[in-house]
Structure 1
Amino acid sequence: MNNYLQTMFSLEGKVALVTGASRGLGKAMAIALAKAGADLVLTATNEANLKSTHDEIQSLGRKVLSIGCDQSQTEQINNVFEEVKSTFGKLDILVNNAGTIRRAPADKTTDEDWQHVIDTNLNGVFHFCRSAGQMMLAQGGGKIINVASLLTFSGGITVPAYAASKGAVGQLTKALANEWAASNIQVNAIAPGYFSTDNTQQLRDDSERNASITARIPCGKWGQPEDLAGSAVFLASQASNYVNGHIMLVDGGWMAR
């Protein structure tokens, strides 16, 4: 049984790229992929912020490459893939985790805030998918895991650009799965629920919102970044070879209520 599980979920010999890997969900997923055997490419806007993740993965005996990349800038994404090609020569797994959020009522949302969120959360995600897809089509397969959100399904409050971008990420995931499934590329998404990360600090600091959110989560608690580890490894491994265009909720039961 152990040999079977090791075969199904092993990422030995694979190269994975995780965006937004300096902390939170991205860091947890990157470390999980490394523990499953993958070598890692890590990106974050500030390369220096990747040191903790880089060092932990290196301590596991995996190869790791850290690259600074503002994914709202297409030329910086292109540079990432040039470095991936020159260092590893292939890419088996992409985890599109990097994202941003700016909170304000819709009538007070500025053009700059709207555009920054869309450029990062949607345009950047597409550009990473497109470049990864080009490599994967040429090499005969791969895995793309986008990070969606509960707001892929609902509208949220005072985060119009974030909700719009994450709704679009869900549809982009399905569109790419439709195009690339026959080429042995599985494109899926993870939709985290309410997790304790920097992006939700403002919500957790609001005692009233925190209490109302926690009360609605059937398991009664916010998620921790490590709670995404199993989902990421599953979608990156051959265990999910017939899963495509799926948005996997990891939300403690929030959407079931």
Structure 2
Amino acid sequence: MNKWIIGIIMMAAGASAVKTADYFLNKPTPQATTIQTTGSTLPQTADTGSNSLPTSAENTPLPPKQNADTDEIRQVFDTAITHAKTAQCSVEPFDENNFRNNVFLISNTGEDDFVFRTYGVLYQSDPKCADGSGTAKYSLAEAEVSSQGGGHIRVSNPDLFAKPNNTETGSFAFNDRFIRKADIDSKGVLTIEYNEYAETDGNCCTSERWETHINPNTMTQLDKRFLRKENPYAEN
């Protein structure tokens, strides 16, 4: 081949090699990649669930103040229990875990600023302090709340059950020794579930569950019905 042609080819190859080396030695800097995030949210707070940063302690709202009605119920409960302890023995609330389950609103009357409410407070005691088997019973104390004189609570009757369950005449509307449930419904009717003796039951244990309805304003029995048979030795 002609030396002149060979020389041209070698010169072209050399230029390409120089260009390639220059590219790798002076490689251009790549542009920063733009990252776009979608759907990102701020951390959720545990109490509100809103997309906001956690609230600082100084901005956390304070809990609501105790309801005034709850304060009154507590005062009625304490007044009735204290009154019962002055003349009876072994006084205990019907529900030891929640005092509100022992207090029932019987009536609520009044006009303008005058307030007059009647409550029933259910408790257990030994009225005659006989300290013997089968002497404890449940009672429903009547407590009256009046706004006269700056607010006053008094126990007007230590046991409303004494009317339907008359010990003098021996007439008993229900067994007030074994009350299991008590409540006043939206119509103002007092419902009591209690245990009663079957003919073959011993003094310790009752095997029949009954329910009775009473008008708490007059303490008259409206009705009663048998619910079921139970194990007399089981915890009720």
Structure having the higher helix fraction is 1
Structure having the higher strand fraction is 2
**Shorter-chain TM-score range:** under 0.3
Select the structure with the greater relative contact order (CA < 8 A; seq sep ≥ 6): 1
TM-score, length basis structure 2: 0.24
TM-score, length basis structure 1: 0.23
